[in-house]
Structures are given as structure tokens and as C-alpha cells.
Amino acid sequence: MPTPAPKVLVNEVSVTFESHRRSVLALDRISLQAHAGEFLCVVGPSGSGKSTLLRVLAGLLRQSAGEVRIEADHPGSPLTAMVFQEHALLPWRTVRDNVTFGLENRGVGRAEREARAREMLAMVGLTRFAAHYPHQLSGGMKQRVGIARALASDPEVLLMDEPLAALDAQTRTIMQEELLRIWAALGKTVVYVTHSLEEALLLGDRIVLLSARPGRVSRIYPVDLGRPRGLEVRASPAYGALLETIWARLREEVVRAMAEDRGPDPDRASA
């Protein structure tokens, strides 16, 4: 029986940035897929192009080579909705109006917008702040609004760019649980970028490990930790083993990236 087409298909995608006289290769022939309903995590050192990949998927950035395909099964739904790393909320709109921004742009009626906003704000725990303005919220709260906005948009694929990175550890843990619950309930396809390997193992079905710049697919790891998954999985031996294995590989890439940043040792230059 033929396998259904992947929900997200990335085929030999490269991205080169041109600035003044230099061109930087950010992504080098990335190929990966995400199946419908899958939670795909992308990890890698700083500069590996994780965010760049996400922006290509979101259509915010044009790739220099290769193709991207997202299967649209629900007419009327946008292909993607992204949760940005720096919230990117509209400062002149209340929390509620920020959440329904995408819906408003698509012409969704007021009653439905309000219902959806109520639902999403409840999901991220911000019901009390619906009429507040972004500048009145903490960083973590703003991030939660961003998540609510993406969810409210009801996209084919949910893109998340380190959405929990700015939260304190306690809130982050709670939100991770929430995300697992929400995802189990909605069944969305998610592409999730994170720095934290622990988080990727907790949330993901598969982990894509990118190399240091230029970003290539170093390895793709299946995460067989069972579903439904809760925080208790962190105590399981399978989790520990996977963490060690992937970290060994990731560590190499991180060290390589840091060496890049440091540049040639000035004291060694003239030996």
C-alpha cells in the first residue's frame, strides 16, 4: 500500500545570505519530512540555521535552492502559523485582539473570533489578561500570547521557534505539559525548534540534529518513548540512553560552532 505523502516535505533546501561583499551559506541541502500529526523537533548548535529553516517553512524567507511542500488538507486553513522567538506581538492591540489577528485577516466573524480567543487564552492560562496590552505583560506571558495566536489560527502545520526559551524553568515545565496535552488533543503537525535536547526528547516523535554552520542534517533520531507521554518519562532509562547518544553528537557540533566564533587563536598566530 503506498505511503501517504508527507505533510511537510523539505527537499535539498539551501539558503545563502548575501550581504555587502560576503555571502554566507546558512543551510546546506537540507532534506527532511514530517508526517501528518507528527511532532518533529529540530536541534542544533547556535548558528546552525534552525530558525532559518523554520522561516523558510513559514514562507518568510525564500530558499536559494531546493523545494518545500506542505500538504493542504483543509481548505480555508493557512498553511503555517509560527510562534516567534521574540513574541512579535502588535503593541497597539490587546492580548485578545493579538490572538485573533490571523482570524481577523481571514474575515472570520466576530462571534467565532471571540469564542476562539476565549478557548485559546484558557489553554495558555491567560484568561484574566485578555484586555491587557503587551507592554503590561512579562516576557513569558507575551510568549504565551504568541502561542495562543498560532493555535487560534488553526494552521495545517504549527511552527515553533524556541517558544519556551524565555520562560523561567517552572513555567517552562508547566507549559511543556500543556503543549503535550494541547498537541494530543489537536493532533497538529508541529515543527519545533529548540536548544534544549531534554525538551526535544520530551516533546518530539523524531529529532533532527543539524550541524554547525553551514547547517546540514547531521542525523535524524526516532524517539520511541511512547505516547501519551508525560514528565515522568524523564526518569525512564530509554530517555537517559537517547539523551546520552544524541548529546554526544550534538556536543561535537556545539564545540565546533564555538571554535568558529572564537576564531584563530591570536596568541598562537606567530609561533
Partner 1 sequence: MRRFGRWLAEHSIAVGSPLVLLGAWEWASATGLLREAFFPRPSTIAVHLRQLGADGTLWGHLGATLVRIGWAFALAAVLGVGIGLAMGLWRGLREGLDPVFAVIYPIPSILFLPLVGFLVPPGEIAVVVTTAVTSFFLIAFTTTHGVRQIDRLVVEAATHYGARGWRLFTAVLLPGSLPSIFTGLRLGLGFALIVVVAVEIVSTSRGLGALLWLSWQILKVEDMYATFFVIALVGAVLYYGLAALQARLLPWVQDVADR
Q: Which of residues 240-269 bind partner 1 (CB under 8 A)?
A: none
For residue 129, state whether it binds partner 1 (rule: CB under 8 A). no
CA atoms of 62 and 38, how far apart (whole Å):
24
Interface residue with partner 1 among 134, 204, 214, 215 (CB under 8 A) is: 134
User: Could you give the strand order of the β-sheet that contains 80-83, starting from the edge strand earlier in sequence?
Assistant: 80-83, 157-161, 189-193, 39-43, 206-210, 217-222
Would you count residue 99 as binding partner 1 (CB under 8 A)?
A: no
- Residue 147 binds to partner 1 (criterion: CB under 8 A): no
Q: Which of 57, 70, 89, 197 binds partner 1 (CB under 8 A)?
A: 89
Element (DSSP H or E) covering residue 9: strand 8-19
Question: Shortest approach of partner 1 to residue 55 CB, angstroms?
Answer: 9
Q: How far is the CB of 92 from partner 1 (least distance, A)?
A: 4
Q: What is the DSSP letter of 106?
A: T
User: Considering beta carbons, is residue 69 or 106 the nearer one to partner 1?
Assistant: 106
Smallest gap, in angstroms, from Cβ of residue 103 to partner 1?
9
**Smallest distance from partner 1 to CB 81, Å:** 7
152-171 residues in contact with partner 1 (CB under 8 A) are 153
3-class secondary structure, 68: strand
Q: Is 30 exposed, middle or buried (0-12, 13-18, 19+ CB in 10 A)?
A: buried
The tally of CA atoms less than 13 A away on the side-chain side of residue 198 is 13
| 62 binds partner 1 per the rule CB under 8 A | no
Contact call for residue 138 and partner 1 (CB under 8 A): no
- Can residue 90 be called a binding residue for partner 1 (CB under 8 A)? yes
User: Which cell numbers in the block locate residue 216?
Assistant: 546540514
Q: How far is the CB of 120 from partner 1 (least distance, A)?
A: 14
Give the residue from 155, 96, 150 showing the smallest Cα distance to 128: 96
Q: In the bound complex, what is the minimum distance in angstroms from residue 144's beta carbon to partner 1?
A: 15
183: which strand partners?
none
CB closer to partner 1 out of 34 and 152 = 152
**Residue 265, SS3?**
coil
Shortest Å, Cβ 141 to partner 1: 15
Torsion angle defined by CA atoms of residues 116, 119, 123 and 129, in that order, rounded to the nearest 10 degrees: 90
Interface segment toward partner 1; rule CB under 8 A; list 82-90, 122-130, 190-198, 261-269: 82-90
Backbone angles phi, psi at 208, to 5 degrees: -100, 125
Cell of 76: 480555508
Give residues in contact with partner 1 (CB under 8 A).
58-60, 78, 80-82, 84, 86, 88-93, 101-102, 104-106, 133-135, 149, 153
